[in-house]
Structure 1
Amino acid sequence: MLIIKNGTILTFNKDDEVIKNGAIVTEGDNILAIGKSVDLTEKYPEAEVIDAKGGLVIPGLINSHMHFYSTFARGMDLKTDKPPENFIEILEKLWWRVDETLSNKDDLYYSAIYPILEGIEYGTTTIFDHHASFGMIENSLDILAEAVEDAGIRASLCFEASDRNGEEKSEASIQENIRFIESLTEDQKDYLTGKFGLHASFTLEDSSLKRIGEEAARLGVPCHLHVAEGKADVEDSKKRGYSGVVERLDKFNILQPGTLAIHGVHLSQEEFSVLANRNNYLIHNPQSNMGNAVGAADLLAADKSGLRIGLGTDGYTTDMFESLKVASVLPSHETGDPNAGGGIVRDMLFDINGKLAGQYFDKELGVLKEGAGADIVVINYSGPTPVNSDNYYFHLLMGVSGAKVDTTIARGKVLMKNQEVKVLDAERIKAKCREQAEDFWKRF
Structure 2
Amino acid sequence: MLLIGNGRLLTLAPDNPFQEEGAVAIEGDRIVAVGPTAELQQRYPEAEWLDARGMVIMPGMTNTHMHLYSTFARGMALKDAPPANFLEILQRLWWRLDKALTLEDVYYSALIPLVDCIKSGTTTILDHHASPRAVRGSLEMIARAARETGVRTCLAYEVSDRDGEAIMREGIEENMAAIKKYRGQEGLLTATFGLHASFTLSDATLAACREAAAEVGSGFHIHVAEGIQDVEDALEREGKRVVERLYDHGILGPETIAAHCVHVTEREIAILKETGTLVVHNPESNMGNAVGCAPVGDMLAAGVTVGLGTDGYTSDMFESLKTANVLRKLVSGDPNAGWTEVPAMVFENNRRILARFFPHPLGRLEPGAYADVILVDYHAPTPLTAANWFGHLLFGFNGGLVDTTIIGGKVLMRERRLLHLDEAAIAARAQELAVKVWERF
TM-score class, shorter-chain normalisation, is over 0.9
- Is the CA contact (8 Å cut-off) linking 2:360 and 2:369 kept in structure 1? yes
Q: Deviations over 1:401-424 (max 9, x none)?
A: 000000000011001110111122
- One-letter amino acid of the counterpart of residue 255, structure 1: L
Structure 2 residue aligned with 1:136: 134
What pairs with 1:40-79 in structure 2 (closer than 5 Å)? 40-79=40-79
- One-letter amino acid of the counterpart of residue 354, structure 1: R
- Is the CA contact (8 Å cut-off) linking 1:332 and 1:340 kept in structure 2? yes
Moved >3 Å (runs of 4+): none
- Is the CA contact (8 Å cut-off) linking 1:6 and 1:51 kept in structure 2? yes
Structure 2 residue aligned with 1:364: 361
Residue 355 of structure 1, CA deviation: 1.9
What pairs with 1:408-427 in structure 2 (closer than 5 Å)? 408-427=405-424
The answer to whether 1:89 aligns with 2:88 is: yes
The DSSP-based 3-state class of the residue aligned with 2:92 is helix
- Is the CA contact (8 Å cut-off) linking 1:230 and 1:266 kept in structure 2? yes
Distance 1:362 1:201 in 2: 30
Structure 2 residue aligned with 1:113: 111
- One-letter amino acid of the counterpart of residue 97, structure 2: V
Residue 185 of structure 1, CA deviation: 6.4
Choose the corresponding residue for 1:391, options 374, 388, 391: 388
Q: Deviations over 1:299-325 (max 9, x none)?
A: 111112110010000011110011000
Distance 1:330 1:276 in 2: 23
What pairs with 1:319-358 in structure 2 (closer than 5 Å)? 319-358=316-355
The DSSP-based 3-state class of the residue aligned with 2:390 is helix
Distance 1:385 1:210 in 2: 57
Distance 2:351 2:54 in 1: 25
Structure 2 residue aligned with 1:308: 305
- Is the CA contact (8 Å cut-off) linking 1:56 and 1:380 kept in structure 2? yes
- Is the CA contact (8 Å cut-off) linking 1:65 and 1:129 kept in structure 2? yes
The answer to whether 1:157 aligns with 2:155 is: yes
Residue 120 of structure 1, CA deviation: 0.5
- One-letter amino acid of the counterpart of residue 85, structure 2: N
The DSSP-based 3-state class of the residue aligned with 1:209 is helix
**Aligned pairs, how many?**
441
- Is the CA contact (8 Å cut-off) linking 2:24 and 2:34 kept in structure 1? yes
Distance 1:7 1:351 in 2: 23
Residue 114 of structure 1, CA deviation: 0.7
Q: Which moved more, 1:61-70 or 1:254-263?
A: 254-263
Residue 108 of structure 1, CA deviation: 0.7
Choose the corresponding residue for 2:174, options 173, 176, 180: 176
Distance 1:125 1:279 in 2: 25
Structure 1 residue aligned with 2:24: 24
The DSSP-based 3-state class of the residue aligned with 1:127 is strand
Residue 216 of structure 1, CA deviation: 1.7
- One-letter amino acid of the counterpart of residue 158, structure 2: E
Structure 2 residue aligned with 1:429: 426
- Is the CA contact (8 Å cut-off) linking 2:19 and 2:386 kept in structure 1? no
Residue 438 of structure 1, CA deviation: 2.0
- One-letter amino acid of the counterpart of residue 145, structure 1: A
The answer to whether 1:285 aligns with 2:282 is: yes
Structure 2 residue aligned with 1:99: 98
Distance 2:72 2:117 in 1: 16
- Is the CA contact (8 Å cut-off) linking 2:62 and 2:350 kept in structure 1? yes
What pairs with 1:130-279 in structure 2 (closer than 5 Å)? 130-184=128-182, 186=184, 188-279=185-276
Q: Deviations over 1:154-178 (max 9, x none)?
A: 1111100000111111111112111
- One-letter amino acid of the counterpart of residue 13, structure 2: N
Structure 2 residue aligned with 1:10: 10
Q: Deviations over 1:370-402 (max 9, x none)?
A: 111100010000211111111101101000000
Identity %: 48
- One-letter amino acid of the counterpart of residue 47, structure 2: A
Distance 1:408 1:203 in 2: 39
- One-letter amino acid of the counterpart of residue 138, structure 1: R
Distance 1:315 1:292 in 2: 12
Distance 1:218 1:174 in 2: 12
- Is the CA contact (8 Å cut-off) linking 1:214 and 1:253 kept in structure 2? no
Q: Deviations over 1:62-93 (max 9, x none)?
A: 1100000000001111122x110100000000
- Is the CA contact (8 Å cut-off) linking 1:264 and 1:297 kept in structure 2? yes
Distance 1:280 1:311 in 2: 14
- Is the CA contact (8 Å cut-off) linking 1:25 and 1:34 kept in structure 2? yes
Distance 2:407 2:426 in 1: 20
TM-score by length of 2: 0.98
Structure 1 residue aligned with 2:293: 296
TM-score by length of 1: 0.97
Q: Deviations over 1:272-303 (max 9, x none)?
A: 12112111111000000000000000111111
The DSSP-based 3-state class of the residue aligned with 1:360 is coil
Distance 1:223 1:120 in 2: 27
